[in-house]
Amino acid sequence: MRKGGAGLRGAASASALLLPSSEDSGAGGEPSKECPILVAVRVRPRNEKELASGDPPCVRVLSRSHLCISKNEGVNQYLNSQRGRVNDYEFDVVFDETATQAEVYQRSTQPRVASVLDGYSLTVFAYGATGSGKTHSMFVLTLPLLLYCGTAQVYNDRLYDLLSPGDGAPLRIREDARRGVTEVAGLTRRRVSSAAEALECISEGNHNRRVGSTAHNSVSSRSHAILQVHVRSDGVQECSAVMSLVDLAGSERAGAAAKDRQRLTEASHINQSLLALGNCINALSGEGDAQCQAKYRDSKLTHLLKGSLEGHCSVVMIVAVAPCSGTYEDSHNALKYANRAKEIRVKSPSKRRVDVEM
């Protein structure tokens, strides 16, 4: 029987060039016993439309961990909510408009990738308003040892397979108490042997993902996408870990973003599932018994991510925000969401040894 991560690392020689050493990445072996969620915020550059309109920026990066967001006071504004204000926030990592994809990966996710090869699971969220750059930020990740990939979407609170759409029938969520995992029953998993093959799975999944035109984005994602990379060692008794990349659909005001009834229905389901995720975050950031009150079954998204938030894996949240005053409310709401997520305390992650059932 192989112990701990030795089985995974022993099988990972083919991916050694993809994964930096712990000396380079700063990731020293196993996660700490009380491992908080890492929250990173990325401010995207202004696009051509914003530059042409002259819309001034409202978000300013002050340092590698601080930023502020300001609201200008307009004319004849009398309510407190309409008055100008400046809010300062501190996060684990903050990226300004000049940050490269490699820099985002190296400072947010790379330090925790090494733990996957030691048998610990990792979940990475991308959150933000529609058009803030979430999906773009998710492609910063260089995956380590890749064995089995599966990708699904949560559309209108139903789960669908993105690699084998078939007849479009929704899938069920299954909880395995023996292994302590929550997974999608019948989800297609493809064996891959390189990062290029994994990227093909991502590309195919994105091609089958629901998108649509809204008032904010002509190609807006209308579903939450979840890519899962199952890492397993050889042998009868297995050391197993899962890397989950979660591209959340953009938070938005349904009435402002919707162009027709279908978009309004989609926006309603998106906001309901994000609210359920927010409620779970609020519960998990509480003390004592409050953490036991997280209602994962309020949405398919939170039900599927139950294991990711209960302490079976390390968690990274990358929050994307738009820089301009015209999107102040959406950007500020995303920052408040991220600020609350900082309080989550992920309890000691557990290594998983399970029999292969492929």
Closest CA to 329 of 72, 142, 77, 137: 72
223, pLDDT greater than 50: yes
Q: Is 5 annotated as a binding residue?
A: no
Enter the pTM of the model.
0.77
Decide which of 34 and 314 is more confident: 314
How high is the pLDDT of residue 358?
A: 29
Distance (Å, whole) CA 49 – CA 85? 25
**How far apart, in whole angstroms, are the C-alpha atoms of residue 232 and residue 12?**
10
| 311 marked among binding-site residues | no
Is 131 annotated in some ligand binding site? Answer: yes
Nearest Cα to Cα of residue 117 among 286, 219, 242, 217: 242
Q: What's the pLDDT tens digit per position in 94-120?
A: 999 999 888 988 899 888 887 777 777
Q: Where are the chain's structural domains?
A: 35-72+82-353
| Structure-token pair, residue 162 | 């993105």
Residue 177 marked ligand-binding? no
Q: Is residue 250 a known part of a binding site?
A: no
What percentage of the chain carries pLDDT values higher than 90?
A: 21
132 annotated as a binding-site residue: yes
Q: Does 154 score more than 90 pLDDT? A: yes
- CB 159 within 8 Å of CB 172: yes
Better-scored residue on pLDDT, 164 or 74: 164
Name the band, by pLDDT with cuts 50, 70 and 90, for residue 33.
very low
* CATH tag for 35-72+82-353 (out of 3.40.640.10, 3.40.50.720, 3.40.850.10, 1.10.3720.10): 3.40.850.10
